[in-house]
Amino acid sequence: MIGTLKSLWAVGLKLFAPTQTQGYPEVKPALAPRYRGRIILSRDPDGQERCVACNLCAVVCPVDCIEVVKAETVEGRWYPETFRINFARCIFCGLCEEACPTAAIQLTPDFELADYARSSLVYDKPDLLIAGKGKYPGYRYWDVAGKTAPPNTDPKDLAP
């Protein structure tokens, strides 16, 4: 009996407590830079595509939503002819970003991907490739890849 009244009183007081609701479309949530949202393809500091079409992201993808078709430049460097992500399938796990050796594929804090048709959720290379460098501004894969590191180098310093 006393417990019932106590609980009534405690819940009644909540009427004057501040609400925890965030008014989402008007008030945007503050998301961390590492939030796993829409996927992009980034570029080098000198404006080159970072992606080398190694296909690791497509292999590691647990839902098979990435399709990469390799092509080769005249110098023999690989680049993706097709890079397609089906966001209707993507689960935003971030494994592609972890697998990427060149920090090309990155997840961004944008989650507003809703659309009216499934076909418009298939993003092709022009939809994915951005002009900027993404999360790793100074990183250029070819500066660190295929070279002998000086002795006593911490391998972590070579990562993006």
Give residues in contact with other proteins (CB under 8 A): 4, 7-8, 10-12, 14-15, 17-21, 23
CA–CA dist 29, 56 (Å, integer): 32
Minimum distance between the CB of residue 124 and other proteins, rounded to whole angstroms? Answer: 35
Residue carrying structure tokens 């009427």? 15
| Angle of CA points 36, 54, 95, to nearest 5° | 25
Give 84's strand partners: 67
Minimum distance between the CB of residue 113 and other proteins, rounded to whole angstroms? Answer: 22
| Closer by beta carbon to other proteins, 3 or else 151 | 3
| Closer by beta carbon to other proteins, 9 or else 74 | 9
Question: Residue 138 has which token pair?
Answer: 């100074």
| Closer by beta carbon to other proteins, 13 or else 74 | 13
Residue carrying structure tokens 């023999």? 76
Minimum distance between the CB of residue 16 and other proteins, rounded to whole angstroms? Answer: 9
Minimum distance between the CB of residue 79 and other proteins, rounded to whole angstroms? Answer: 47
Q: Is 146 exposed, middle or buried (0-12, 13-18, 19+ CB in 10 A)?
A: exposed
| Closer by beta carbon to other proteins, 7 or else 120 | 7
